[in-house]
Amino acid sequence: MHTLLKISRAIDALNRRIGQALIWLVLIMVLVSATNAVLRYLFNLSSNAWLELQWYLFSAVFLLCAGYTLLNDEHIRIDVVSSLLSRRAQVWIDIFGTVFFLLPLSIFIMWLSWPAFMNAWISQEISSNAGGLIRWPVRLLVPLGFCLLSLQGLSELIKRVAFLRGLIPDPADKQAHPVVRHRIAREDAAL
C-alpha cells in the first residue's frame, strides 16, 4: 500500500502542477477575447483564428483541469443522502462511484477520442472556417484531459482505500490535518 500511496502522491503532484500552470490560460483567454473585441469594434478587423484560439484555450482549461478539480474535491456533488451517513459510508460511496462510474467512463471517452485525434494528426485537419486553426491540438486535449482525470480517479481511489485501512487521515478533510498536508506538499515538490 505504501508504494500505491507514493504513486498517488506523484499523480496528485502532476495534476496540481498542471492545474496551477493552466490557471494562467484563463488570463490569456481573457486577453485574447478582449483584444479580439477591441480589434473588431474599433478597427473593423476580425479573424476566425482569434475566436477559435479562445475556444481552444477554454477547452484546455476545462479538460486539462478536470483532474485538478477532482484533486481539490471541487467537483459537483449531491450530498443530500450521503451527508446523513457516516464518513466511512461516504468513503465507500466514493469508492463505488470511482470504480463503477468515473474510471470506466473516463477511460471509455479517452479510448473513443484517440482515433479522432489520430485522424486529425495524420490528415493535418484544419478548421473549415476561413483563417481557422489546425485541429489536432484541440482534439488531443480530449484524451489527454480524460487521461489526467483517470489518473486522479485512481489516486483518489488509493487514498480512500488507505483511509479505510487506517494508513492515512481522511483525504477529504482539508482543514483537520495541516501538518500532513504540509508534509505531502513537500514530498510533491521533491518529485
Residue-wise pLDDT tens digits, 19-35? 999 999 999 999 999 99
Tell me what percent of the residues of the chain surpass a pLDDT of 70. Answer: 91
- pLDDT score of 128: 83
| Cα–Cα dist 168/171, whole Å | 8
Q: How many CA atoms lie within 13 A of 108 on its CB side?
A: 6
Interval 41-56 mean pLDDT? 87
Q: What band does 184 get if pLDDT is binned at 50, 70 and 90?
A: low
Query: Is this model's pTM higher than 0.75 or not?
Result: yes
Of 139, 17, 16, nearest to 70 by C-alpha is: 16
Q: How far is CA 53 from CA 57, 61, 109, 113, 190, in A?
A: 6, 12, 24, 20, 35
Q: Do 129 and 138 contact (CB within 8 A), yes or no?
A: no
Q: Residue for cell digits 477547452?
A: 59
pLDDT at site 51: 87
173's grid cell: 478533510
Say how far apart CA 190 and CA 136 lie, in whole Å: 34
Write out pLDDT tens, residues 69-101. 999 988 877 777 778 888 899 899 999 999 999
Say what percent of the chain tops pLDDT 90.
59
